[in-house]
Amino acid sequence: KTRSCLRVGSHAKLPRAMLLRSSSLPALSRTARRALSGSCCPPGALPALAADEDRELDGQVIQLDDVNHYVVAAEGTARGGLIVAYDVFGFSGGRIKSVCDSFAKCGFNVIMPDVYTGTEINGFGGLDGFMSGAEETVGWISAQNPAKYMPMLEGCKAFLAGEMGSANVGGFGLCWGAVPVFHAAGAGIIRAGVSAHPSLQAAGFYGEPGQPGEFAAKTGKCPMLLLPAQEDSLDDYGEEGAVTAAVRDLGFACVSH
């Protein structure tokens, strides 16, 4: 059987960085606010890949502490465990479960908690509401906070170790999901992290520094791989960016690709 490992980059339609107008969230940096002029998927971007409902999924949905989790076992001998943190489109958004399946084909036991517990941004004003600073959108995102998701991440780590035999655990986050990945690193839940189209500005919703480099300096306590999208700030996420430097200053490897 041919293995098809996940490719993240121009073939993945990823949402624009999580940024607010200054009147809505003063903690965000001036540079971050200027990024509001960018679109979610810029003109000329490749289209989204096939949605999950168009294929048979490899994993299953289970409940841990009354929260749905998508779980898929590694093909063959597992190389380790992986916690996936999705983007603002949530547990059923696009092809996120297919992304999890791709990691399993690469040899990882994968678990993805439904942090938003059945909701997603389109039920609360969507990206337009986010960009305009709509109260319902900001309120919804603010409710998806560390007090809610950190116990889930701890539970995911315990499940991977106890039920799937993977004590060596990493994290993968998409857009907003980069924030839980960095929080997991700071708490010692994961041993390595990957963030695609990282949007660490969203940490400002949770009382953390709105500057990505400052947030990374507090939490980036494991090796990290950053995968910024075409319009993401290389001043933050590039090979010489603030986030990359902050993780390295903490004594860990960090690569931007």
Tokens of 17: 């960085």
Does residue 3 belong to any structural domain of this protein? no
Assign 64 to helix, strand or coil: strand
pLDDT score at 52: 84
In this prediction, residues 67-91 reach a mean pLDDT of 98
Does residue 106 belong to any structural domain of this protein? yes
pLDDT score at 34: 35
Residue 26 has what DSSP assignment? T
- Give the list of residues 6+ apart from residue 146 with CB closer than 8 angstroms, or none: 180, 183, 206
pLDDT above 50 for 255: yes
CA separation for the pair 174, 102 (Å, rounded): 15
pLDDT above 70 for 245: yes
CATH number at residue 109: 3.40.50.1820
Does residue 130 belong to any structural domain of this protein? yes
Find residue 62's DSSP bridge partners.
69
- The number of folded domains in the chain is 1
Residue type at 231 in one-letter notation: E
- The model's pLDDT over 23-60, given as tens digits with 9 standing for 90+, comes to 334 344 333 333 333 446 667 777 766 788 888 999 99
Residue 92 exposure: Cα atoms within 13 Å on the Cβ side: 10
- Host domain of residue 216: 30-256
Is residue 69 a contact partner of residue 156, using CB atoms and an 8 Å limit? yes
Please give the model's pTM, rounded to 2 decimal places.
0.85
Torsion over CA: 16, 18, 22, 24 (sign): positive
Does residue 7 belong to any structural domain of this protein? no
Torsion over CA: 128, 132, 135, 140 (sign): positive
Does residue 11 belong to any structural domain of this protein? no
In this prediction, residues 177-189 reach a mean pLDDT of 99
In this prediction, residues 100-119 reach a mean pLDDT of 98
Does residue 207 belong to any structural domain of this protein? yes
pLDDT above 50 for 208: yes
Going by pLDDT thresholds of 50, 70 and 90, the confidence category of residue 8 is very low
pLDDT score at 40: 60
Does residue 35 belong to any structural domain of this protein? yes
- The model's pLDDT over 10-24, given as tens digits with 9 standing for 90+, comes to 233 333 333 333 333
pLDDT above 70 for 90: yes
Tokens of 139: 């309120």
The pairing of strands 193-196 and 254-256 is unpaired
Does residue 235 belong to any structural domain of this protein? yes
Helix count and strand count (H, E) for the chain: 9, 8
Residue type at 152 in one-letter notation: M
Cα distance between the two ends of the chain: 29
pLDDT score at 28: 40
